[in-house]
Amino acid sequence: MAAHGAAIDPNEPVVYEQYETIEQQQETYLVGMWSFLVTEVMMFGALFLVYSLYRWKFRGEFFMFHEELSWQWGGLNTMNLLFSSFLMAKAVQATQLKRAKAQMWYLAGTIVCAFIFLIIKAIEWIPKFEHHLVPTASFHWPPHEPHGSGGGSPEHAKIFYSLYFTMTGLHGLHVVIGIIAITILMVMTKLKAKAITDYIPTEMVGLYWHFVDLVWIFLYPLFYLIPR
């Protein structure tokens, strides 16, 4: 029970009531975060399973459907996310070294990358609404001005785009949650909130962000780089 009553040292991390030592508290938080990430893996895992089954079932056609996706934009976003992960890793390191200023800058950089990611996503998605490639009732295949051959059955194309929008959509949602989490982290760190007295919150947000990045590392080749 390190910090209780009058003897609160602002430089010492606070040990919450339910823990005995700071080490126990820190390890517990990490075990919890990893367990949660297991859940996330299973959630995306289910979608990857669906994808694999349909990709295998409609082998030839998936190539034609994917030609409407821009590998250039997707590739740019991949680089962008990789860079953001690098910044996040630096942020965690800076926190562990108690370099508060550097931590803030790296976190801010991560958020900027996250917004760039969303902007590029929007650049990719918005035309798809105009070209009726969003798999709602108004879905239309082949597109009016196809980038590729426009071949393949319209029904299977709808399945492909359902997968594309569900999976990148869920990933995009995670990016948004990431932005919110990092923002809260920064504000609370700035305000020296009671919940944030050691590097663990940053480490947890960092783990989450690397996971989001990792999902995209799989999504990019599966949707944008399908071989003939």
Partner 1 sequence: MSQAVIGQRHEIPDLHYLNNGHTIASWLLTKDHKRIAVLYLISVSFMFFVGGLAAALVRLELTSPHGQLFTSEQYNKLFSAHGIVMVFFFIIPAVPAVLGNFALPIMIGAKDLAFPRLNLLSWYLYVVGALIVLTSFILGGVDAGWTFYTPLSSIYSNTQISLCLVGLFLAGFSSIFTGVNFIATVHKMRAPGMTWFKLPHFVWANYATSLIIVLGTPVVAITLVLVILERTLKFGIFSPELGGDPVLFQHMFWFYSHPAVYIMILPAMGVISELVSCFSRRRLFGYEMVAFSTVAIAAIGFLVWGHHMFFSSQSVLQGIIFSLLTLIVAVPSAIKTFNWVLTMYKGSVVFTTPMIYVLGFIGLFLVGGLTGPYLGAVACDVHLTGTYFVVAHFHFIMVGGAIMGFLGGLHFWWPKMFGRMYSEFWGRLSALVVFIGFNFTFFPQFILGYLGMPRRYHYYYFAPEWQIYNILSSAGASVLAIGYLMPVFYLTASLIKGKPAGPNPWGATGLEWNKTSSPPDTHNFHEKIVVTEPPYNYDAISDNRDYRKMWGGEPLEWEKETV
Query: Residues in the site for partner 1, rule: CB under 8 A?
Result: 17-19, 24, 27-29, 31-32, 35-36, 38-40, 42-47, 49-50, 53-54, 57-58, 135-137, 153, 155-156, 158-159, 162-163, 165-166, 170
Please state the closest distance from residue 115 (CB atom) to partner 1, in A: 25
Expressed in percent and rounded to 5, the helix, strand and coil fractions of the chain are 70, 0, 30
Residue number with CB closer to partner 1 (90 or 121): 121
Residue number with CB closer to partner 1 (51 or 216): 51
Please state the closest distance from residue 5 (CB atom) to partner 1, in A: 16
Please state the closest distance from residue 35 (CB atom) to partner 1, in A: 5
Please state the closest distance from residue 29 (CB atom) to partner 1, in A: 8
Residue number with CB closer to partner 1 (9 or 27): 27
Residue number with CB closer to partner 1 (29 or 83): 29
Please state the closest distance from residue 207 (CB atom) to partner 1, in A: 13
Residue number with CB closer to partner 1 (51 or 106): 51
